[in-house]
Structure 1
Amino acid sequence: MKCLPFLQCHQMMLFGKISQQLCGLKKLPWSCDCRYFWGWLNAVFHKVDYERIRDVGPDRAASEWLLRCGAMVRYHNQERWQKDYNHLPTGPLDKYKVQAIDATDSCIMSIGFDYMEGLHHVERIRLRKCHYIKDDYLEKLGKLENLQKSVLEMEIISCVNVTKASLLYITQET
């Protein structure tokens, strides 16, 4: 599943004529600030399901979230990347531990970050062109003890909302 595309204001005219007064309001999802609407919709989509985490375990729940967002995961003792949500492996819930995450061009955002808290075996995280990733996400990642202990490599490339300050924060040893 791919992220919903950002639409330009003139494309929103398909939904009806938007008055100039309404276009000036930035907080309404149907205003000309279309990014707000899609950001809001993605935020609803990313809401963490704590019952699901409890029922299937953190690795399975995180895998489901990541795949729904267009990312890929690789499990320990597996060479293939899992790309398709509909083909997640079956079997005992504790059998598949996430070893690597490739979130290239995905729509993961910090609202779904709590899915990462229970992952204890992740060695590699790749964030490329993740437009919803912001500094607060990286700061949260840097504070997770389980990931501090397991992550050996983190690649952050072309994430437009990530500043140099957060990169420095995440590279500091605590």
Structure 2
Amino acid sequence: MLTTCSRILFKPSVVQGQNLFQWLNIIFNKVDDERRKLVGPDRSCAEWLLRNGAFVKWRYEEEFVTDYKLPSDDVKLHIVEVDATESSIAHHGFAHFVGCKYIEKITFHKCFYLENEALKELSVLKDCLLHIRICECPNITEEGLAHLKALTKLKKIRLSKLYYIKDRNQIINDLQKALPNCNINFFD
């Protein structure tokens, strides 16, 4: 009887280990409303992005910030570009983008936690986002890409290696119809 119980308890512990990692990812992506009120949306968003392995570029700066060294809290900064290559950002944290009014360009490359729901949350950047690149993000499907239609200021969309997209031509046509002034490319 003890052997049977041990086997039963072992399998859930493996599942619990997987859930633990998912739980940690949710914690790293969670919005801290108090911190956001204290330092403002751009700094709070930058802290989230950097904490999860992404890089940010400040307005009037040439280089990306690639580590967690930020100026003092009293310095007012605005994010203009996000490079989330190989970061662990997930839709749980996309509320950090609320109030960021200068983000013009975002790159999602090999973002394995990025899901369709995250792209829906990007609608808060509809008044500023001009360029988006989504490459090798395995959880993105047509449903997620359809949310890009809300980003009416987009000038350029670059898509590549999105293997679960069934009909590339259809999604390109749908996006082009909704965003007639946008240059849309979908590469293998």
TM-score tier after normalising by the smaller chain length = 0.7 to 0.9
| CA spacing shift, 1:89–1:38, aligned 2, 3 Å | same
Name the structure 1 match of 2:93. 112
Residues 49-88 of structure 1 mapped to structure 2, 5 A cutoff: 49-85=32-68, 87-88=69-70
Query: Which residue identity does 2:72 align to in structure 1?
Result: T
Name the structure 2 match of 1:156. 134
Query: Which residue identity does 2:32 align to in structure 1?
Result: D
Query: d(CA) in 1 for partners of 2:32 and 2:15?
Result: 31
Name the structure 1 match of 2:110. 129
Query: d(CA) in 2 for partners of 1:35 and 1:164?
Result: 27
| CA spacing shift, 1:149–1:83, aligned 2, 3 Å | same
Describe the SS at the equivalent of 1:53: helix
| CA spacing shift, 1:36–1:97, aligned 2, 3 Å | same
Amino-acid identity (%): 34
Contact residue 95 and residue 121 of structure 2 kept, 8 A: no
Cα shift at 1:168: 2.4
Query: d(CA) in 2 for partners of 1:133 and 1:91?
Result: 29
**Higher relative contact order (CA closer than 8 Å, sequence separation 6+):** 1
- TM-score of the superposed pair, with normalisation by structure 1: 0.77
Query: Which residue identity does 2:134 align to in structure 1?
Result: I
Query: Which residue identity does 1:22 align to in structure 2?
Result: L
Deviation string 1:32-88 (CA, Å, 9 cap, x unpaired) is 464332111211222210000000000011011100100000011100100110x21
Question: Paired residue for 1:90, among 58, 72, 85?
Answer: 72
Larger strand fraction of residues: 2
Cα shift at 1:23: 4.9
Cα shift at 1:22: 3.4
CA RMSD of aligned residues (A): 2.0
Cα shift at 1:114: 1.3
Name the structure 1 match of 2:9. 22
Task: Please identify the structure whose Cα radius of gyration is greater.
Answer: 2
